[in-house]
Chains A and B, each alone.
Chain A
Amino acid sequence: MKVLRKKRRKYPVSRVIVTIAKYSILCIGAFCMILPFFWLFSASLMTSQELIADPPRWIPESPQWKNYMEIPRRIPILRYYGNSLLIAGLGTFGVLFTGSLAGFAFAKIPFPGRKILFRFVLSTMMFPVFIFLIPVFYLMKNLGWLDNHLSLIIPFAVSGYGIFLIRQFVMTIPDALMDSARIDGAGLWKIYLRIILPMIKPALATLGTLTFIGQWNSFLWPMIVTSNAQHLMTLPVGVSRLTLAFSTTETQHLVMAALVYQVIPMVIVFLYLQKNYVKGFVMSGFGGI
C-alpha cells in the first residue's frame, strides 16, 4: 500500500541495519529455542550407549531408525494414540466451546452478577491444581466413570484460563458491530456464531493450541486413573512404561523415540491452527472509530 511521503524519512542504510539486526536476533533466538527439540529427534536415532556418552553427542553415528519400529512392538502405541487423540481432542473442544460461550457473555452481555461471577471464574484458577486431585478422583469413582473415557475428559473440559482469554479478546471487538447486528434483528446466539466467533479466530487458535498441548502432555491425572483401567491409557503414561525404574539408561533411546511419537501430533496441530492467524477483521468502510 503506497502512502504519500512528504520527504524521505529514512536513509536506506539504517533500514538495512535494522533488517540485519532483526533477522540476527531472530536467528540467534530461534537457534537457542530449538536446541532441545532438535536434540530430541537426534537422540531418538541413537543407541543407548551413545546417549550415555560424555561429552554428550549431538548427532548419532548411524541413525537407528529401528528405534521407531521397536516402539509398537513393546507398547500398544496405536491404542495410546487413539486414547490421547480422543481425550485431548474432546477436551480441547470443550474448553473452546465453553470458553467462547462464557467469554462472550462476560465481555458483551451485561447481566446481573456478571462482575462477581467473573471474579469467581478467575478465582478458580488460583487454587493449586493439587486441591482437586483427590476429591475429583473420589467423584469419578462414585459416578462410575473410572473405567470410562469420561473421567479423563470431563474434569478438564472447562477452563477458567480459556474463559478469561476469550473474554479479553472479545472485549476488543467494538460494540458498534454488535449493535448494528442487533438492529438488523440478530439474536445473541446468531451474534455469537456469525460475528464474534469469526473475529476471534486467532484467540481460538491460540487457546486451542495451548489447551491441546497441555492435555496431550498431561501425565499425573491419567496415570492415576488409567493404572486401574489400562485400556484408557494415554500416550505419556504409555511412554512411561518404557522407562525402567532403576536403570533409566537402558531404554533411554526407546523413550526418546517414543517421545518423538508424542511430539509430532502437537507440531501438526500447531501448524494446522496457524492458518487462523490472519488479521482479526478489516476496518474497511467502517467509520466512527
Chain B
Amino acid sequence: MRRDMRLRALSGYGFISPALIFYVFFFGFPVIFSFAASFRRWNMLVPLFDARFLGWDNFEFLLQNEMFLRSLLNTSLYAVITVCASLAISLFLAVLINSARFPVLWRFLFFTPVVTPSVAIGTIWNYLYRPNNGLLNQILGWFGIRPVYWLTDGNVVLFSVMLVAIWAGIGGSMLIFTAALKNIPNDYYDAAKIDGAGIFRRFFSITIPLIQPTLLFLMATGMIGAWQVFDLPFIMGRNAPAMSIMTVSWYIYETAFGSMRMGRASAGAFLLFIIIFVITLLILRAFRKGGYEGFAEKET
C-alpha cells in the first residue's frame, strides 16, 4: 500500500509539474518583484533599487486617498451585482437553449458579445445611452419617465456600465453552464419525470446540485474577474465624474502609467489582491457549507 501511495504522490506531482515550473518563474518572481516595488517611489525610469525607499507610505497614502477608497466602493458594487445577475441569467438561458431546437444557433447568437471587439460594443451602447433620443430614453418616454443621462450623470453611470457588463458576460458563463449541463445524464431527469416531478422541482433538485462545482467556479472566477475590471468603465465612463465610475484597476493603471508612480500602483495591486483573496475564501467556505459534499471540495 505504501508503494501505491508513493506512486500516487509522484504521479500527482508529475501531472502538475509543468504548471508548477511555470508558476515559479512567471508568478513567483513577478510577485516578489512587485512587492519590493510597492515600498518605493519608482517611476520606472531608474533602476528599482535606486528608487527612494518609502516604507509603508504608499499603502498609507492609498488607504487615506478618497479616490482609491471610492474606487473600492464602486468596484465592490459592480462585482456583486454583475456576477450575481450575470450568473442567474446565463444559467436560465443555458437551460432554455438546451431544451430548444437549433441549440448551436442560439448559443452562437448569445455568445457574439464575447467575440465582438469592445470598440463596436462601446459605439452601440453609446448610441443606446444617448440622452437625446437614444433608444433607452425613448423606451422610458413611453412610460412617461424623464430622460436619463446614462453616461454622464454620476448617480447613474455605474449602473449603466454594469448593465453592459452583464449583457456582455452572459455568453461566456452560458457556455460553461452548457458544458456542465451536458454532464448530467438524461436518466436522472427521466427518473424524476416518472416520479412526477415538475420543471421547477427537477431544476432545483437535480440541476442545481449537480452543477455545484461549476457554480462555485463561475462565482469565484466571476468575482475575481469583476474585481479587476478595467476595460468597460474606462471606455464608457470617461465623460462622467471620475468618483462615480472609477474602479480599482483603473486607478492602479492610471497611477502607474499616468502619474508614473509604479511603486504606489504596485501597492494598490497588493491591496486589491488581499481583498480578492478574502472574498474568494468566503465564497469557497460558503459552498462547502452548502453540504453538497459529494461534488464540492473533497478533503484529503
Interface residues of A (CB under 8 A from B): 1, 3-4, 9, 22-23, 25-26, 29-30, 32-37, 39-40, 43, 55-56, 97-99, 101-102, 104-106, 109-112, 114-115, 117, 120-132, 134-136, 138-139, 154-155, 157-158, 161, 163-165, 168-169, 171-172, 188-189, 192, 202-203, 205-206, 209-210, 213, 217, 255-256, 259, 262-263, 266-267, 270-271, 274, 277-283
Contacts and interface: CB of A to CB of B under 8 A. Distances in A.
B26 A155 contact: yes
A279 B16 contact: no
Contacts of B252: 128, 130
Given A121-B19, A125-B224, A134-B44, A266 B265 contact: no
6 closest cross-chain pairs (CB), A and B = A111-B12, A202-B179, A135-B30, A105-B15, A168-B213, A30-B109
27 contacts: A26-B106, A33-B112, A34-B109, A36-B113, A37-B113, A43-B123, A99-B19, A102-B18, A105-B15, A111-B9, A114-B300, A129-B228, A134-B30, A158-B19, A161-B221, A168-B213, A168-B214, A202-B182, A206-B175, A213-B114, A213-B115, A267-B108, A270-B115, A274-B107, A274-B108, A279-B186, A283-B187
B33 interface: yes
Q: How many interface residues does chain B have, given as a range?
A: 35 or more
A131 B15 contact: no
A126 B277 contact: yes
B285 interface: no
Q: Which of A115, A158, A192, A205 has the most CB of B within 10 A?
A: A158
Contacts of B30: 131-132, 134-136, 139
Contacts of B108: 267, 270-271, 274
Contacts of B103: 277
B205 interface: no
B120 A259 contact: yes
A183 B187 CA distance: 26
Contacts of A279: 182-183, 185-186
Contact of B22 (A98, A115, A134, A278): A98
A33 B109 contact: yes
A175 to B, nearest CB: 10
B239 to A, nearest CB: 16
Contacts of B1: none
Contact of B276 (A33, A56, A126, A172): A126
A109 B298 CA distance: 11
Contact of B179 (A22, A126, A263, A277): A277
Contacts of B186: 279
Nearest to A166: B217
Contact of A157 (B22, B33, B110, B167): B22
Interface string B18-50: 111011011101110110000000001000000
Contacts of B61: none
Given A34-B109, A135-B29, A171 B16 contact: no
Judged by DSSP, the binding face of A is: helix
Contact of B221 (A55, A128, A136, A164): A164
Nearest to B23: A124
B116 A36 contact: yes
Contact of A126 (B8, B111, B190, B280): B280
Given A39-B123, A56-B127, A102-B15, A128 B273 contact: yes
Contacts of A106: 16
A98 B96 contact: no
B26 A210 contact: no
A131 B31 contact: yes
B145 interface: no
B171 A101 contact: no
Interface in B202-244: 210, 213-214, 216-217, 220-221, 224, 228
A71 B283 CA distance: 48
A124 B96 CA distance: 34
A92 to B, nearest CB: 15
Given A98-B19, A127-B27, 4 more contacts: A124-B23, A125-B224, A158-B22, A256-B120
Nearest to B199: A18
A203 B179 contact: yes
A130 B22 contact: no
B146 interface: no
